[in-house]
Chain A
Amino acid sequence: MSHWIILPILLPLAAAVLLLAGTPLGLSFKRRVGLAATVLLLPVALKLLAIASGGDVQVYALGDWPAPVGIVLMLDRLSAMMLVLTSVLALASLLYAVSGSDALGRNFHALFQLQLMGINGAFLTGDIFNLFVFFEILLLASYGLLMHGGGAPRARAGLAYVVLNLIGSSVFLVGLGLLYGTLGTLNMADMALQVRLAPADDIPLIRTAATLLLVVFGLKAAMLPLFFWLPRAYGAASAPVAALFAIMTKVGIYAIVRTYNLGFSPEAEALAGITEPWLLPLALLTLALGAFGALAAQRLVTLAAYLVIVSIGTLLAVLSQFDQGATAAALYYLPHSTFATAALFLLADQIARRRAAGDGLYPASPMQRELVPGVLFFVAAMAVAGMPPLSGFLGKMMMLQSVRALDGAAWIWGTVLVSSLLGVLALARAGSLLFWKTEGAAPPASDARLCGRGEAAGLFVLIAAPVLMALFAGPLSDFTQDVAAQLHAPYDYVYDVLGAPAAVLYGPEGK
């Protein structure tokens, strides 16, 4: 048992405590501590990735109480991959924030670290009640971060976001109560086992609980009909916060992938048909409505927020197939879409700063020094829309390829391709309105520095990521194949978490 596993939770926690205690020491102290903790997170995540890629599920028993009595952290390839993704995204957002937008409120850095702690914890926990607890940590921090900077639009968006998520938490708890009442366990590997041993009378209750959890995770992932909070919340957040929030919806997707592959593993016949009637149609509708929203957006940030919804719809449609190849392809697309949409949020901030009309999508006087943001917008738009040669294209192609032989193929192909076209149209419209369709005289050029060094660095990381992901697509997609293979073998989780006797109860390896 290696102690590395708990570091992604402890490191941000320690940093947050230090930041809160050091409030009188001023902003430069906070920036240093925040940056140091976030930079350190990256090697930790990479080390965990190296540990996890061995293929065994690593279990960290807190207080050395064995599962299922004690609480465990669980590290597999998927959680390691999500940790690396989080740490890169966090570093980019924080680099962007330290150029000035962190000074708008007092405790930005502490909230940022607590948010990271919540996200990392959600990826690492092996127990569904702690998934709830880490969700609450990341949500509470996100409430603060969303309101960072203050102002009426944020207050309005924040209230709806908080109320909706509190209702979501209540539904989550009801689901957990039902699960504990019927299965007698909240450890996800043990759940996979207990579902198979459950008496027939309890099955309807377990199915109810599984459906309730799908509703909650759908809310976190912004799946139709629960996505209406997202454009307003993300549109109101400050740029680095919106960029970091690009991972939050992916936490919902991670929770769906994790619970429905392990706890409610599709291998258990008692739970057959819970997600099938809902997940694919809802995902496709999410995708379609997201694309229409993108076309109708009046601001670049709203457009980016709708493109987040499009990526969620695409991912859920492919993941809803619960097919190993499809999961592998979707897991290649997931980091790509996170980076690309985050880059778009940061770019929207840069563009708004250079334009008299902000990021509003209507003709206005020409932008100051538009060459660099123009080129970056072009690259980011290509990445988000899924045009070759960037990783968005490869990801979409792999996903479409992987679902070709499956039942829902025609629907997925049709909706993904049409909505991609709509996405390209929306981005082309935005680009031409922002950069070409100008009216009136250019404002007098000022020498003021428009883009801080940190901002440039953060943007560079996010723009470079889709390019690098396309360059190293071979090894990366091999890795996501391994991730999916591990996910689709719940027997290994039961064996590694609960030990050999429980694995015998679970049934023969494979099916």
Chain B
Amino acid sequence: MEALIALAVGVLTACSVYLVLRPRTFSVVLGLTLMTYAVNLFLFVSGRLTLHGPPLIIEGIEVHTDPLPQALVLTAIVISFGMTAFLVVLALKGYADLGNDHVDGESREREDRK
């Protein structure tokens, strides 16, 4: 299972880096979303992978999972969700103010002709 999770984090990160480097804001927003997924998954497993272990101390149960990464990842999810929402609004505002959806605010003629 470690390999699977590691692969998932790796693939998500690779895709997000590619998307963030794209010139238009929509793919950048998507890329950042994927990046937060990758990071949240990574943060979640930083307490190690445990199967069938509750995060509480209950009598008769020997295997516990670490509750702190769950709390951390909850905070991170809330923050990244808020940030993504803000970024979408910002990208729309940029499109309205600048008249194009390029990240540096300048559309390139060559590309527009295509």
B50 interfacial by beta-carbon distance below 8 Å: no
Q: A152-B97, A159-B91 are in contact. Are A181 and B48 (CB under 8 A)?
A: yes
| B42, A177: Cβ atoms closer than 8 Å | yes
Partner-contacting stretch, out of A162-170, A371-379, A424-432: A162-170
| A167, B97: Cβ atoms closer than 8 Å | no
B68 interfacial by beta-carbon distance below 8 Å: yes
| A156, B39: Cβ atoms closer than 8 Å | no
A483 to B102, CA, bound (A): 47
Q: Give the interface residue-count category, chain A.
A: 20 to 34
CB distance from B75 to the nearest CB of A (A): 7
A468 interfacial by beta-carbon distance below 8 Å: no
Chain B's closest residue to A159 (CB) is B94
In the complex, chain B residues whose CB is within 8 Å of the CB of A322: none
| A181, B83: Cβ atoms closer than 8 Å | no
| A152, B105: Cβ atoms closer than 8 Å | yes
CB distance from A158 to the nearest CB of B (A): 6
B60 interfacial by beta-carbon distance below 8 Å: no
In the complex, chain A residues whose CB is within 8 Å of the CB of B32: 163, 166-167, 170
B64 interfacial by beta-carbon distance below 8 Å: no
| B20, A177: Cβ atoms closer than 8 Å | no
| A162, B90: Cβ atoms closer than 8 Å | yes
Instruction: Scan B55-96; emit 1 where CB is below 8 A from any A CB, else 0.
Output: 000000000000011001001100110110011001101100
A366 to B38, CA, bound (A): 57
CB distance from B63 to the nearest CB of A (A): 17
CB distance from B41 to the nearest CB of A (A): 10
Instruction: Scan A139-161; emit 1 where CB is below 8 A from any B CB, else 0.
Output: 01001000100111001101110
| A181, B93: Cβ atoms closer than 8 Å | no
Chain B interface residue count, Cβ-Cβ cutoff 8 angstroms: 34
| B98, A152: Cβ atoms closer than 8 Å | yes
8 A Cβ contacts from A57-114 to B: none
| B94, A177: Cβ atoms closer than 8 Å | no
A133 interfacial by beta-carbon distance below 8 Å: yes
| B35, A160: Cβ atoms closer than 8 Å | no
CB distance from A36 to the nearest CB of B (A): 28
| B103, A177: Cβ atoms closer than 8 Å | no
A180 interfacial by beta-carbon distance below 8 Å: yes
B15 interfacial by beta-carbon distance below 8 Å: no
CB distance from B96 to the nearest CB of A (A): 8
A174 interfacial by beta-carbon distance below 8 Å: yes
| B94, A170: Cβ atoms closer than 8 Å | no
| A167, B35: Cβ atoms closer than 8 Å | yes
| A136, B79: Cβ atoms closer than 8 Å | yes
8 A Cβ contacts from B1-45 to A: 20, 25, 28, 32, 35-36, 38-40, 42-43
| A177, B43: Cβ atoms closer than 8 Å | yes
| B104, A156: Cβ atoms closer than 8 Å | yes
In the complex, chain A residues whose CB is within 8 Å of the CB of B68: 180
| B72, A129: Cβ atoms closer than 8 Å | yes
A14 interfacial by beta-carbon distance below 8 Å: no
In the complex, chain A residues whose CB is within 8 Å of the CB of B86: 140, 143, 162
Query: Of B28, B38, B90, which one neighbours A158 at CB under 8 angstroms?
Result: B90
| B87, A162: Cβ atoms closer than 8 Å | yes
A143 to B89, CA, bound (A): 12
Chain A's closest residue to B9 (CB) is A174
Residue in A129, A170, A176 with the greatest tally of chain B CB atoms within 10 Å: A170
Chain A's closest residue to B32 (CB) is A166
Apart from A150-B97, A180-B72, what 17 extra A-B contacts exist at CB < 8 Å?
A129-B72, A136-B79, A143-B90, A152-B98, A152-B105, A156-B94, A156-B104, A158-B90, A163-B32, A169-B79, A169-B80, A170-B36, A170-B38, A173-B42, A177-B39, A177-B69, A180-B46
Q: A-B pairs with the 10 shortest C-beta distances?
A: A156-B105, A181-B46, A177-B46, A155-B97, A177-B43, A155-B94, A173-B39, A170-B39, A152-B97, A180-B46
B: residues with CB less than 8 A from A are: 20, 25, 28, 32, 35-36, 38-40, 42-43, 46-48, 68-69, 72, 75-76, 79-80, 82-83, 86-87, 90-91, 93-94, 97-98, 103-105
| CB-defined A-B contacts under 8 Å, sample of 29 | A129-B72, A133-B75, A133-B79, A140-B86, A143-B86, A152-B105, A155-B90, A155-B94, A155-B97, A155-B105, A156-B105, A158-B90, A159-B103, A160-B104, A163-B87, A163-B103, A166-B32, A166-B83, A167-B32, A169-B80, A170-B38, A170-B39, A173-B40, A174-B39, A176-B43, A180-B47, A180-B69, A181-B46, A181-B48
